[in-house]
Amino acid sequence: MNLDSKKIMLGLYLRGNALDPCDITAILGISPDYQQVKGESVPSSAGRAITRTIGVWSIKVDAASENIAEPLAEFLTRLNGLIEWGARNSSTLLSLPGVDEGYVDMFVCGSLDTDDQGKVEVEIQPDQVALLAKLHLPLRITFELVRE
């Protein structure tokens, strides 16, 4: 595997038909990296208007790295406020107004040289797994290996 071309994206996503990102931000006291409002009209890359079909609030960390440890540590540090909010309020993120679904997403993309076997290893420490579990959200993991 060509480690120089590995891309790691980590994100926490809250989504819902009635989700208002400003309400979520006000309740949590944490600003998202990305938000969208259902019904909002935005221009596409081709210049056409697109209407958002769902509300979204998310925190994301993207990295070009050969090891997930550093971006994962940064991501978990950023999620710590959400974990503390849940503990203080004896609540989960899925109980927030307008939230229909929530999940943590891990995406790892890398390119294969012609002699590579396509093996990818990701190691997550037990304490990191325990922190993710405190969010009470599913974890979606996707690996994409592209032959150059």
Task: Examine the pLDDT at 2 and tell me if it is beyond 50.
Answer: no
Cα angle 113-108-110, degrees, rounded to a multiple of 5? 15
User: Tens digits of per-residue pLDDT, 64-96?
Assistant: 877 788 899 999 999 999 999 999 999 999 999
pLDDT of residue 5: 56
Q: Residue 62 pairs with which residues in a beta bridge? A: 9
What average pLDDT is seen over the chain? Answer: 89
- Model confidence at 107: pLDDT above 50: yes
Tell me which of 5 and 25 has the higher pLDDT: 25
Half-sphere exposure of 55 (CA within 13 A, CB side): 19
What pLDDT was estimated at residue 116?
Answer: 56
pLDDT at 98 over 50: yes
Confidence tier at 1 by pLDDT (50, 70, 90): very low
pLDDT tens-digit series, residues 118-142: 667 788 899 999 999 999 999 999 9
Query: How far is it, in rounded angstroms, from Cα 13 to Cα 8?
Result: 16
Question: What residues contact residue 46 under an 8 Å CB cut-off, 6+ apart?
Answer: none
